[in-house]
Amino acid sequence: MSSACFVVSLQLLYLFQVSNSFPLLHLISVGITTSSSLTPFDPGFNISAVAALAESLPTHSWEFGTATEALLELHSPLLSVFGPAPFPDAVYHPDSVPSLSYAAANIVLGTGANGLSDGAGAVGDPASLGVAAVMLGKTNASFAAAAKSEIDYIVDVAPRWVNGAISQRADVPELWADFMFMAPPFLAYYAADSRNVSLLEIAYRQCGLQREVLLFGSNSSTPSPLNSSPTNGLWHHIVGPQSAEPGLWSTGNGWASMGMARVLATILKAPAPPATPWRADAIADLTGWIKEIVDGARAAPLDGGLLRNYLNDTTTAHGFGEISGSSMLAAVAYRMAILAPEAFPAATYVAWADTIRVELGKNDAAGNPHITSEGIVTPAVNPLGWGDTAPWTAGSPEGNNFVVLMYAAWRDCIWAGVCTR
């Protein structure tokens, strides 16, 4: 299939959100081998340079996991949960799916919490490679077994907070907003792929339990009402005995809202049996919980057109305008304008995300481009030190990949006829 024909086919699929044409989808998805057709629109900066660097910067398990998801959304939009019909019973050959060849080259199979790579004490970080492990498992039993064993560890072994929320740390119960992007989307994907409705429900319930602690500081197992937090919907970073961090970290709110957007997309598209009484609640709750965060971010004071590293901090050096959280939250707004258009009207949410995308094409206050000729997106928060007050300009593995997620979300939104160039 020529790339021009391929793009037209993709665009039609997004426009009509075709759900009953699995053979066609499969034909198209296995035809994805080139990337030029997948960056058809100019976002105002060199997305090819950003994406190339995004692939080469990672060195830690969650960074490889984030890059794996970015590669999937960029190169294989029909296989991502944001595609129109991501759950055909298909076998994907790693060599024709860049995300999967990347994951296969970077996953280090192990045991327990480290089943999909050494997580350095984290539960969620290796799980960020879980979606790819499920897909790789279609052609390689070692990956299928590793994905199952990682699920069993997370659900049955990992420590739990008093309300049942699964810990981000393997040694003590401690909750991190970061966990939301890494584990619940994997639980949901594994569940949808294996038709396990109870596991799919666990993925949804976990989002509510984590929100309870990280947004409200409550230990309840029943979700608090929408829009009732003292922080205007914005999550704290870490609650627990080791690394407690009450700040309203921009990247953390990006992790949490994009994690929930992936769980929501999975629940919307999973081949669920008709009797799934919690499904309607899950769709309404997740939509509301994501919107709380995006609305809190939209209301936060900007710095140089970007969200601040600590979203409410206008007085100290921790509050500098920063690209990582900004681009992830913009990506969430683009995705939600498609997934839940009534709650996220394009006139408000796409317009807001566009301001961040357009800002990235400009220079910062010092006159330096936000995106350098090498494809570094700057200034970012230090990816290994959220409390660092020095803006990171050497290339953030997270930040570069979040910009790829934002680009893929914007491109798909144009294909769906909702965003404009």
Ligand X SMILES: *[C@@H]1O[C@H](CO)[C@@H](O)[C@H](O)[C@H]1NC(C)=O
| Binding region for ligand X (CB under 6 A) | 46, 48-49, 52, 104, 109, 140, 142, 151, 155, 162, 196, 198-199, 217-219, 231, 246-248, 312-313, 315, 375
CB of 107 to ligand X, least distance (A): 7
For 351, residues 6+ apart whose C-beta sits below 8 A from its C-beta are none
Nearest to ligand X of 52, 414 (CB atom): 52
CB of 350 to ligand X, least distance (A): 25
CB of 351 to ligand X, least distance (A): 26
Cβ-contact 193, 205 below 8 angstroms: no
CB of 281 to ligand X, least distance (A): 20
Residue in the structure block whose two tokens are 């030190």 = 385
Nearest to ligand X of 214, 405 (CB atom): 214
CB of 332 to ligand X, least distance (A): 20
Ranges of beta strands (E only) in 340-401 are none
CB of 117 to ligand X, least distance (A): 12
Integer Cα distance of 348 and 243 in angstroms: 36
Nearest to ligand X of 105, 280 (CB atom): 105
Integer Cα distance of 415 and 409 in angstroms: 10
Cα Rg of the chain (Å, integer): 20
Nearest to ligand X of 119, 319 (CB atom): 319
Q: Residue with CB nearest ligand X?
A: 49
Integer Cα distance of 39 and 390 in angstroms: 32
Integer Cα distance of 381 and 136 in angstroms: 32
Cβ-contact 112, 153 below 8 angstroms: yes
Burial of 66 (0-12, 13-18, 19+ CB in 10 A): buried
Nearest to ligand X of 245, 388 (CB atom): 245
Ranges of beta strands (E only) in 300-392 are none
Nearest to ligand X of 44, 88 (CB atom): 44
Q: Is the dihedral of CA 212, 218, 222, 223 positive or negative?
A: negative
* 62 phi/psi in degrees, rounded to 5: -70, -25
List alpha helices for 137-278, DSSP H.
141-152, 179-182, 184-194, 197-216, 250-269
Residue in the structure block whose two tokens are 């949490």 = 256
Nearest to ligand X of 295, 313 (CB atom): 313
CB of 12 to ligand X, least distance (A): 28
CB of 162 to ligand X, least distance (A): 5
Among the listed residues 343, 336, 341, the one whose alpha carbon sits nearest the alpha carbon of residue 406 = 336
Nearest to ligand X of 39, 287 (CB atom): 39
